[in-house]
A and B are shown apart, each in its own frame.
Chain A
Amino acid sequence: MRKTAAILAGIAILSLSGMAFGAEIVMNGSTTVLPIAQAAAEKYMAANEGVKISVSGGGSGNGIKAIIDGTTDIANSSRFIKLEEVKTAVEKGTYPVPFAVAMDALLPIIHPDNPVRDLSIDQLQAIYSGKITSWKDVGGEDKPIAVVGRDTSSGTYETWQEIVLKKERVSPRALIVASSGAMLTTVAKNKYAIGYDGIGYINNTVKPLMVNGKKGSVETVLDGSYPIARFLYMFTKGWPTGEIMKFINYMLGDEGQKVVASTGFVPMRILK
């Protein structure tokens, strides 16, 4: 009996001390930001013993909703907060604070054998909405264009919709693939295909296109001349304090930005 009590007391003390010394940060949100968050969390936990960061990806909308409901500490988002979300947050008495932690660029990609090199945003819009259906119309061979897009729920799709398609709808005839990897395979295997992928995914099985005469790269994204780029955010509930503030500072500092670069995304500044 006494033994049991002693063990119970021991467990109680251990768990109490665990609470006192180990800070826990919960992150939720965009699957686009997920690789950055995951890599940064691992590095940060390795450097700061006792800190536990749990990362999950449920989409930008879910992350921001979780910040408003108070079920997460940091919301990863591949878009800025929407007006209705700010309204809901204020009604519930919270104020989500955005931190831009990285940039992402989307590059149009085609088969390496395709002679086309450069397309304007307007041409891309016409191709994706189904108004241009032949490569001939954009300086290529007299062949039909196989348009490949992403699922409507992905953050990549959302950016493409916003910057390239604007108010137009993607043609229902466009092929839709479920992941960035499937996009690469599909374009690499189809001579007439055009697709798009985040800058970190692109390899030499496909040919990235210039947009409005600008090559998509870390430099052109940072100087703002490459048009299909966006910020990736981490939102906190109010101004961050304690361990959360330390983590955000880490993300924005050189260490965190190196992690961003290593995951294939564009850091917020040129790193030495």
Chain B
Amino acid sequence: MKDRLPGTIVKGISSAGILVMLFILYFLFREGLPVLRSVTLKELFWGDLWYPAESPPILGMFPLIAGTLAVTGLSSLLAVPFSLLIAVFVSEMAPRPIREFLKPILELLGFFPSIVLGFIGMAALAPWLQETFDMLSGLNLLNASLLLGILTIPVVSSLAEEALGAVPQDLRDASYALGATRWETTRKVVIPSALPGILSASLLGVMRAMGETMVVLMAAGGAAIIPKSVFDPVRPLTSTIAAEMGETPVGSPHYSALFFGGMILLVMTLTVNLLSAWIEKKGKMVK
């Protein structure tokens, strides 16, 4: 009896947690799906005009989805190589005192408040970009992606560093015993065997960038267009929801469209998540 009690408590609290999450899902679907009463699924996904306040509202989400993908893609492209090099440096190259100094700093930077970064983007980076590259406006895809890159580098690099650190020392020793140099060992032994961990760290960074709201709200420019260059302003789903939810009449098509945008985001992050789980599983099978 005494032994069962902790088990019961764990079960009870954890199922409450799961219920809360299921409720959030239910709520998202209940508020989001009614949008299909006013527009067709095709118009919603492929329409390229977003004028939600007109009557009747024009709710084409394609530019918003394109904005989300563009910002996520570009920021990952900028951040992932940097993060991996930092991880390799910290884990394999840096002398012990430097490593011990860098690791906590990396972890700390992962919690940098995004609103501060957004403000830097709006008040400092955007004017600088404008001046330097003679742009129409520095509030654009490039600006937001640079900032999101800065935001994700600490997360990805500290996770990738952990993956590298988890490679057994025996493997390195064996490689050295065969006469390999440190760089050969890192490149041919350590990185390949940590690859699943490195990939899932990168995908976590991708998800972080996809769901980020504040930075894109302040620095991405907010125009609902499909970006043709990195200097075009974009309006990702997250910033659209954040900017428009406050003044939207509850229950209107615009309101449900914003919830529908939340559902699209959920599906997108879920896809990345499943991909990362699949990679990890595959990595285990290889071992």
Pick the residue among A61, A173, A174, A190 that contacts B127 (CB under 8 A). Answer: A190
Residue with the greatest number of chain B CB neighbours at <10 A, chosen from A58, A175, A177: A175
- Chain A minimum-CB-distance residue to B245: A153
Q: Are B50 and A31 in contact (CB under 8 A)?
A: no
Q: How far is the CB of A78 from chain B (nearest CB, A)?
A: 10
* A224 CB–B CB distance under 8 Å: no
Q: Are B137 and A193 in contact (CB under 8 A)?
A: yes
Q: Which residues of B contact A152 (CB under 8 A)?
A: 51-53, 244
Q: Are B243 and A62 in contact (CB under 8 A)?
A: no
Residues 221-243 of chain B, each 1 if its beta carbon lies under 8 Å from chain A, else 0: 11111000000010100010011
Q: Are A59 and B233 in contact (CB under 8 A)?
A: no
- Chain B minimum-CB-distance residue to A151: B243
Q: Which residues of A contact B49 (CB under 8 A)?
A: 172
Pick the residue among B126, B139, B244 that contacts A153 (CB under 8 A). Answer: B244
Task: State which residues 156-187 of A face B: CB under 8 Å.
Answer: 157-158, 161, 169, 172-178, 182, 185-186
Q: How far is the CB of B75 from chain A (nearest CB, A)?
A: 20
- The CA of A177 and the CA of B222, in the complex, are separated in Å by 6
Q: Are A175 and B221 in contact (CB under 8 A)?
A: yes
Q: Which residues of B contact A173 (CB under 8 A)?
A: 223, 225, 233
Q: Which residues of B contact A161 (CB under 8 A)?
A: 53
* B138 CB–A CB distance under 8 Å: yes
Q: Are A176 and B242 in contact (CB under 8 A)?
A: no
- The CA of A186 and the CA of B139, in the complex, are separated in Å by 9
* B130 CB–A CB distance under 8 Å: yes
Q: Which residues of B contact A59 (CB under 8 A)?
A: 246-249
Q: Are A151 and B244 in contact (CB under 8 A)?
A: yes
Pick the residue among B51, B136, B249 that contacts A146 (CB under 8 A). Answer: B136
* A192 CB–B CB distance under 8 Å: yes
* A123 CB–B CB distance under 8 Å: no
* B210 CB–A CB distance under 8 Å: no
- The CA of A182 and the CA of B137, in the complex, are separated in Å by 14
Known contacts A175-B233, A176-B235, A177-B222; A31/B247 CB under 8 A: yes
Q: Which residues of A contact B51 (CB under 8 A)?
A: 152, 169
Q: How far is the CB of B128 from chain A (nearest CB, A)?
A: 10
Q: Are A189 and B127 in contact (CB under 8 A)?
A: yes
Contact residue range for chain A? Answer: 20 to 34
Pick the residue among B53, B221, B250 that contacts A157 (CB under 8 A). Answer: B53
- The CA of A158 and the CA of B248, in the complex, are separated in Å by 13
Task: State which residues 91-142 of A face B: CB under 8 Å.
Answer: none
Q: Which residues of A contact B242 (CB under 8 A)?
A: 178
* A38 CB–B CB distance under 8 Å: no
Task: State which residues 36-55 of A face B: CB under 8 Å.
Answer: none
Q: Which residues of B contact A185 (CB under 8 A)?
A: 122-123
* A253 CB–B CB distance under 8 Å: no
* A225 CB–B CB distance under 8 Å: no
- The CA of A158 and the CA of B54, in the complex, are separated in Å by 10
* B203 CB–A CB distance under 8 Å: no
Q: Which residues of B contact A190 (CB under 8 A)?
A: 126-127, 130, 137-138
Q: Which residues of B contact A61 (CB under 8 A)?
A: 249
* B197 CB–A CB distance under 8 Å: no
- The CA of A59 and the CA of B250, in the complex, are separated in Å by 10
Q: How far is the CB of B55 from chain A (nearest CB, A)?
A: 10
Q: Which residues of A contact B254 (CB under 8 A)?
A: 153
Task: State which residues 174-210 of A face B: CB under 8 Å.
Answer: 174-178, 182, 185-186, 189-193
Q: Are A172 and B53 in contact (CB under 8 A)?
A: no
Q: Which residues of A contact B63 (CB under 8 A)?
A: 172
- Chain A minimum-CB-distance residue to B218: A182
- The CA of A174 and the CA of B50, in the complex, are separated in Å by 12
Q: How far is the CB of B119 from chain A (nearest CB, A)?
A: 9
Known contacts A152-B51, A182-B218; A176/B247 CB under 8 A: no
- The CA of A123 and the CA of B141, in the complex, are separated in Å by 29
Pick the residue among B127, B223, B246 that contacts A175 (CB under 8 A). Answer: B223
* B74 CB–A CB distance under 8 Å: no
- The CA of A33 and the CA of B167, in the complex, are separated in Å by 61
Q: How far is the CB of A112 from chain B (nearest CB, A)?
A: 14
Q: Are A178 and B223 in contact (CB under 8 A)?
A: no
* B204 CB–A CB distance under 8 Å: no
Known contacts A152-B51, A175-B233; A65/B137 CB under 8 A: no
Q: How far is the CB of B250 from chain A (nearest CB, A)?
A: 7
Residue with the greatest number of chain B CB neighbours at <10 A, chosen from A59, A153, A155, A193: A153
- The CA of A58 and the CA of B254, in the complex, are separated in Å by 15
Q: Which residues of A contact B243 (CB under 8 A)?
A: 151, 153, 176, 178
Instruction: Give B residues with C-beta under 8 Å from A.
Output: 49-54, 63, 122-123, 126-127, 130, 136-139, 217-218, 221-225, 233, 235, 239, 242-244, 246-250, 254
The 6 closest A-B pairs by CB, nearest first: A176-B222, A153-B247, A152-B53, A178-B243, A59-B247, A189-B127
8 pairs of residues in contact across A and B, judged by CB atoms under 8 Å: A59-B248, A151-B243, A151-B247, A152-B51, A172-B63, A172-B225, A176-B223, A178-B243
